[in-house]
């Protein structure tokens, strides 16, 4: 059985308070015992000193211990207090015993004062014996009192603690339950509001007072979570819509070419070849789009793992440069590669190759005939940079952040050339998967420059120095 937070808080609070009250009660009893005993002993000491002083006065007048002791005994007839005057051998000379058995009277050794507790039956007596010296001889003054009063005080205190502690615990439990209920009430309201939120009502937010306490922080954090979930769901829906739209285009083109070719019973070889060329081109484009979408789907699901190893990134970029040179020749675009030698980096070679090719293909596609595309690889401190420059028409300032979103293409007239606006998002993911970054460094009427930075690059020649 799972207890509610309110119940657990109450039980914990009561348990801790019970421990505190127990420790407090034990401490109070200990302090009361010591304080009462100390006060009791001080009272006996004062009484013994007073009797001794009076006895000395009587001795100074009569110089006879029995007579002086008798006079002193008559002067100090105090109820509930035993007073005894002893001679030098410890024999009683005069006394008020008040129920104390004289046989149990202790004798001090030497000149010291003795304070002790004597048990007689069910009663405890506190006894103080003080040995004195005078010109008329040695004597001792013994005073004693029953500890019944101390026992009654301690018993009364124990009863008060035993009665008060449970009452305090019950009161604390009630207060804690009420306080916890008030504290948990906003959470219960938030839970009720969260229960009705579905995928169709992600614009709903938890309502409540705007406070800076823990409940207010939780409400704001949950609302921010809803914002992220809503944004993710919207991105997913947009992705599905854009993917459906992009996939429909090559499928429609291939189907149309096939239907037109099959509409007549007899066609020439050239017509069939043209139709199959269209179908092959569109299915190739379709396959590439599916591959890119599969990569992004794995990325979103966290299932696409990189496998880095130490290699020369210069060699990887040289391979990409050869592919880009072929693409540029086919389109009539000049190409230039500037690669610093012997740059080593711990990377996933296949993914970094895809990153560079995506940037280069994007640059070639958006560069008019007669323009130019350049690839550069440069080393910095603990990083390498892949720089792709083109002489295209540039990217408007308002769209420079959108180009890294999925299915975003600024020039819809190039849709037939292939691609679905997934190259740059995949390239940015590859850079970030290597703990690097990809950004648009510059763009204008004279062209654009993309820079991908990959950390942990090592130039062997510099490291040797």
Question: Helix, strand, or coil here: 177?
Answer: helix
> Residues 116, 263: one domain?
no
96 Ramachandran zone, left/alpha/beta (phi>0; psi -120 to 50): beta
pLDDT of residue 23: 93
Task: Look up the CATH number of the domain holding residue 385.
Answer: 3.30.565.10
Is the pLDDT reported for residue 37 higher than 70? yes
Task: Look up the CATH number of the domain holding residue 237.
Answer: 1.10.287.130
Q: In 43-201, at which residue ranges do the beta strands (DSSP E only) sit?
A: 82-87, 92-96, 113-120, 123-134, 137-146
In a domain, residue 29? The reply is: yes
pLDDT of residue 464: 33
In a domain, residue 436? The reply is: yes
In a domain, residue 181? The reply is: no
Residue identified by tokens 């086919």 is 330
Model confidence band, residue 457 (pLDDT cutoffs 50, 70, 90): low
Task: Look up the CATH number of the domain holding residue 52.
Answer: 3.30.450.20
> Residues 144, 246: one domain?
no
Other residues' Cβ atoms within 10 Å of the Cβ of residue 202 = 16
> Residues 282, 325: one domain?
no
Mean pLDDT of the chain, nearest integer:
82
pLDDT in tens, 397-449: 777 777 877 666 555 434 444 455 677 888 888 888 888 999 898 888 888 99
- Among residues 131, 154, 177, the one where a domain terminates is 154
In a domain, residue 164? The reply is: no
d(CA 371, CA 389): 11
d(CA 386, CA 437): 11
Range of the domain at 233: 214-298
Tokens found for residue 155: 């018993």
> Residues 256, 355: one domain?
no
> Residues 331, 393: one domain?
yes
> Residues 250, 367: one domain?
no
d(CA 41, CA 106): 16
> Residues 322, 451: one domain?
yes
> Residues 313, 438: one domain?
yes
End-to-end CA distance of the chain: 69
pLDDT in tens, 300-357: 666 567 788 888 888 999 999 999 998 899 889 999 999 888 888 888 888 888 899 8
How many structural domains is the chain composed of? 3
Neighbouring-strand partners of residue 450: 388, 440
In a domain, residue 127? The reply is: yes
Highest mean pLDDT: which of 40-49, 206-215, 263-272?
40-49
Question: Helix, strand, or coil here: 372?
Answer: strand
Is the pLDDT reported for residue 456 higher than 80? no
> Residues 262, 326: one domain?
no
How wide is the angle at C-alpha 309 spanned by C-alphas 305 and 315, nearest 5°? 115
Q: In 46-157, at which residue ranges do the beta strands (DSSP E only) sit?
A: 82-87, 92-96, 113-120, 123-134, 137-146
In a domain, residue 185? The reply is: no
- Among residues 272, 298, 324, the one where a domain terminates is 298
> Residues 269, 396: one domain?
no
Q: DSSP labels for 294-346?
A: HHHHHHHHT------EEEEHHHHHHHHHHHHHHHHHHHT-EEEEEE-SS-EEE
> Residues 279, 362: one domain?
no
pLDDT in tens, 70-126: 888 888 888 888 898 888 777 888 888 888 888 888 876 666 788 888 888 888 888
Q: What are the backbone angles phi and psi of residue 387, rounded to the nearest 5°?
A: -120, 125
Mean pLDDT across the stretch 242-252?
Answer: 70
> Residues 338, 231: one domain?
no
Other residues' Cβ atoms within 10 Å of the Cβ of residue 236 = 11
Nearest-10 Cα torsion for 92, 97, 100, 101? 40
How wide is the angle at C-alpha 28 spanned by C-alphas 47 and 42, nearest 5°? 10
d(CA 273, CA 279): 10
- Among residues 113, 133, 154, the one where a domain terminates is 154
Residues with Cβ within 8 Å of residue 437, at least 6 apart in sequence: 428, 431, 452, 453
From 215, 209, 206, 282, select the one nearest 249 (Cα to Cα): 282
In a domain, residue 168? The reply is: no
In a domain, residue 392? The reply is: yes
**CB burial readout 340-356, b (16+ within 10 A) else e:** beebbbebbbebbbbbb
Tokens found for residue 10: 């109450």
């Amino acid at each position: 059985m799972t207890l509610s937070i309110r119940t657990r808080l109450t039980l914990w609070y009561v348990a801790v308070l019970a421990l505190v009250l127990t420790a407090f009660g034990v401490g109070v009893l200990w302090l009361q015992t010591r304080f009462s005993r100390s006060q009791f002993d001080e009272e006996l000491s004062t009484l013994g000193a007073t009797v001794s002083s009076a006895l000395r006065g009587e001795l100074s007048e009569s110089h006879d211990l029995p007579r002086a002791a008798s006079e002193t005994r008559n002067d100090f007839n105090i109820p509930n207090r035993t007073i005894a005057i002893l001679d030098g051998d410890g024999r009683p000379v005069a006394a008020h015993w008040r129920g104390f058995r004289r046989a149990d009277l202790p004798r001090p050794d030497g000149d010291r004062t003795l304070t002790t507790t004597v048990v007689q039956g069910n009663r405890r007596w506190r006894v103080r014996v003080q040995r004195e010296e005078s010109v008329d001889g040695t004597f001792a003054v013994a005073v004693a009192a029953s500890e019944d009063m101390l026992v009654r005080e301690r018993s009364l205190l124990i009863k008060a603690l035993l009665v008060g502690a449970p009452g305090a615990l019950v009161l604390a439990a009630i207060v804690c339950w009420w306080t916890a209920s008030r504290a948990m009430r906003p959470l219960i309201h938030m839970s009720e509001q969260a229960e009705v939120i579905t995928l169709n009502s992600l614009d709903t937010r938890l309502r409540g007072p705007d406070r800076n306490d823990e409940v207010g922080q939780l409400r704001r954090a949950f609302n921010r979570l809803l914002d992220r979930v809503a944004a993710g769901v919207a991105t997913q829906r947009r992705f599905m819509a854009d993917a459906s739209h992009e996939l429909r285009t090559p499928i429609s083109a291939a189907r149309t070419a096939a239907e037109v070719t099959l509409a007549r019973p007899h066609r020439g070889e050239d017509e069939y070849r043209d139709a199959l060329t269209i179908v092959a081109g569109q299915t190739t484009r379709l396959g590439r789009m599916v591959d890119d979408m599969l990569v992004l789907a794995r990325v979103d699901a966290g299932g696409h793992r990189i496998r880095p190893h130490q290699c020369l990134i210069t060699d990887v970029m040289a391979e990409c440069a050869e592919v880009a040179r072929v693409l540029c020749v086919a389109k009539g675009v000049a190409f230039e590669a500037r690669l610093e030698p012997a740059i080593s980096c711990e990377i996933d070679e296949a993914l970094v190759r895809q990153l560079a090719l995506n940037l280069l293909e994007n640059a070639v596609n958006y560069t008019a005939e007669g323009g130019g595309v350049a690839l550069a690889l440069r080393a910095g401190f603990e990083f390498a940079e892949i720089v792709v420059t083109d002489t295209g028409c540039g990217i408007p300032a308002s769209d420079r952040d959108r180009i890294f979103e999925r299915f975003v293409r600024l020039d819809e007239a190039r849709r037939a050339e292939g691609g679905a606006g997934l190259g740059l998002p995949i390239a940015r993911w590859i850079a970030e998967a290597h703990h690097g970054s990809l950004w648009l460094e510059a763009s204008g009427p004279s062209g654009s420059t993309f820079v991908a930075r990959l950390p942990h690059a090592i130039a062997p020649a510099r490291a040797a120095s």
